[in-house]
Amino acid sequence: MDPLDTWDFSSPLISLWINRFYIYLGLAFGFSLWICFQIVIRKQGFAAILAEAVTSLDLPVAVVDLKAYDPDDYLLEEEEELLGSTSEEESGSEDQQSGSSVIDVEDLGQVMDRVKKEKREKAQQEGETGVLRSAVKNEANEPRAMITPALREALTKQVHAPRERRLLTYILWHESHRCMETTPSLACANKCVFCWRHHTNPVGTEWRWKMDQPDIILKEAIENHQNMIKQFKGVPGVKEERFEEGMTVKHCALSLVGEPIMYPEINRFVKLLHECKISSFLVTNAQFPAEIRNLKPVTQLYVSVDASTKESLKKIDRPLFKDFWQRFLDSLKALAEKQQRTVYRLTLVKAWNVDELQAYAQLVSLGSPDFIEVKGVTYCGESSASSLTMANVPWHEEVVRFVSELVGLIPDYEIACEHEHSNCLLIAHKKVRTTQLRTLPSPWAFLLLCPLFSSFSLTLLSWVSTWLLPFLNQILRKP
C-alpha cells in the first residue's frame, strides 16, 4: 500500500496542538529578544544624538558603555575634578543655580536654536570676544584657593577633641598647653572612614592650589593659637602661670587635617619652626614615599598605619592613588631609612582591622619604627560620608589584648605605657629604653626630653641626626 494513501493530515496538527505551549514560549522568547535588540539600538542612537547636541553647547561630554565601565579606573579623575570642592561649597552653589541649571530634553531644540543665535551675535563682536576669552582662560589657569569662605565656615564649626593634647602630656611628657596644632595643607589623598573632618576638606594626589608662603602660615598659626589661648583668661581652674606659658608656643603638631607633606615648601616650614625654637611633630598618611625621603629631619615623624592588608587599607583609608598599596609599602621602607625618631600610628576600627596581627608584625619589621602608638578609633558623630558607628569603637580591654598579642610577635618591642582615658597604648623598641645605659635613645630622643632643647643651635640638628647619632649607636651597642 502506498504510504501517501495512509498519511493522515490531522496527525501533525494534533502534534502542534499538543506542543502549543512550547511553541508559544519559543515565539515569546524570540519576540522579547527582538524588542530588547531594538531598545539597545535606539538607546545607543539616542545617546549619540544627545552627545552631539550637548557638544554643540561647548560642554564636555563622553559616551560610556556601562558594561565596560569600571568605577575604580575613573576614581582618581572623579575625585580630583568633582571632589576638588567640598560638599558645603557644592550645596551653596546648588541653591544659586537650581533655577536655571536644569534643561528639559523636550526643550533641547529651542535651546540649540537660542545658542546658534547667540553665536551669530558673538561673531559680530569677534574682537571683544577674543579679549574676553583670553581673560577667562588666564583666570581659569590660575590655581584656585584651597580654603573658601564656605569651607572656612564648615571647618570652624567642627571642634577637635583634646585627645592629642592628653597624649602629649602623658606619653611624651610635653607641656601640652604650649603645643600648637596646625597644618600647611588641608588637602589629602585619602578619605578615611574615621576622618574627624567628615571629608569637608579638599582631596587630591598633588598640590594644585594657591600656596601661602611658610612664614605667613607660621605667623598666622601662632597668632590664631594665641587668640585661642586668650579665651581661657580668667576661667576658673586656669592657672595664671600656665596661661602665660601657653602664649609661647614650644611644640607644633602638624596633624590637624589633610596631608602636611603635600605642601611644596614643607621643609622650609619645618626649618622656620626650628628657628623659632619650636619642636616639630609631623604625621603623614604613607602615600608619598618620595616626599618622605626628601623630608628634612623633624623632631618626630609619624606614619599612619591604618591597616595591614591591601583590601582593608582600601576599605578604611579609601585612597585616591591606584597604586596605593605599593606607595604604602614604599613609605614604610622610606621611614626605615630616616635617621631620626619615627612612630607608627595604628588606629583600631572594630570589625575592620583588628584581626591582622601577623600582617601588622610584618609591617613593623619593614619600617622598624622607634615607637608604635596604638589607639582605638574615636567616633566623631554620624556622617553621610562614612558608615562608622559606636559599634566600631573597641573597648580599652580589646585594645590592650591586641597590643599584648602584637608585642608577642615582635620580640624587639615592649609595652612602654598605657593611658586608659585616651584608649591608647605605646609600644617602644627596646633600644630606646632610658634604663639601658649601653644604648643611646632613638635619634633626637635626648633633644626632646632635654629641657635645653630650645637653646640648641638647631642648624646642627640635621647633621647630628644624619651622622653623629647613628655612629654613636653603633659604638654603644657593641659588647
* Dihedral sign, Cα of residue 193, residue 196, residue 199, residue 203: negative
Flag whether 422 is in a domain.
Answer: yes
Q: Supply φ then ψ for residue 466, to 5 degrees.
A: -85, -35
Does 3 fall in a domain?
no
What's the rounded Cα separation, in Å, for the pair 250 and 454? 8
Question: What is the rounded CA–CA span in Å between residue 90 and residue 104?
Answer: 22
How confident is the model at residue 105, as a pLDDT? Answer: 47
Please check whether residue 166 lies inside any domain of the structure.
Answer: yes
> What is the span of the domain harbouring residue 279?
162-477
- Is residue 126 domain-resident? no
Indicate whether 237 belongs to any domain: yes
**pLDDT value, residue 122:** 61
For the stretch 134-147, pLDDT in tens is 444 444 566 666 66
| 390-to-135, 169, 345, 376, 394 alpha-carbon distances in Å | 52, 26, 21, 11, 9
User: What pLDDT is recorded for position 278?
Assistant: 94
56: enclosing H helix or E strand: none
Contact residues for 316 (Cβ-Cβ < 8 A; gap 6+): 192, 193, 194, 306, 307, 349, 352, 353
What is the domain count for the chain? 1
pLDDT in tens, the chain (479 residues): 555 555 566 777 777 778 888 888 888 888 888 877 777 676 667 677 777 777 777 777 777 766 655 555 554 455 445 444 443 443 344 344 444 444 444 555 565 666 666 666 666 655 544 544 444 444 456 666 666 666 556 555 554 434 344 344 444 445 788 899 999 988 889 988 888 666 567 888 988 888 899 999 999 999 999 998 999 888 998 999 999 999 999 999 998 788 999 999 999 999 999 999 999 999 999 999 999 999 999 999 999 999 999 999 999 999 999 999 999 999 999 999 998 899 999 999 998 888 889 999 999 999 999 999 999 998 877 766 677 888 899 999 999 999 999 999 999 999 999 999 889 999 999 888 754 433 344 443 444 444 444 444 444 555 555 555 555 554 444 33
Within-domain flag for 419: yes
- Is 112 within the bounds of a domain? no
**pTM, two decimal places:** 0.63
Rounded to an integer, what is the distance from CA 318 to the centroid of its chain?
7
Regarding beta strands 279-284 and 251-254, do their DSSP bridges make them parallel or antiparallel, or are they unpaired?
A: parallel
Mode of pairing for the β-strands spanning 179-182 and 413-419: unpaired
Residue 114 placed within a domain:
no
Rounded to a whole number of angstroms, the distance between the first and last alpha carbons of the chain is: 117
The position carrying cell 551669530 is 120
Query: Chain centroid to CA 259: how far?
Result: 7
Q: What is the CATH number of the domain that holds 247?
A: 3.20.20.70
Q: Which position has the grid cell 569651607? A: 151
Q: What is the pLDDT of residues 263-322, one digit of tens each?
A: 999 999 999 999 999 999 999 999 999 999 999 999 999 999 999 999 999 999 999 999
CA distances from 74 to 5, 70, 77, 187 (A): 74, 7, 5, 20
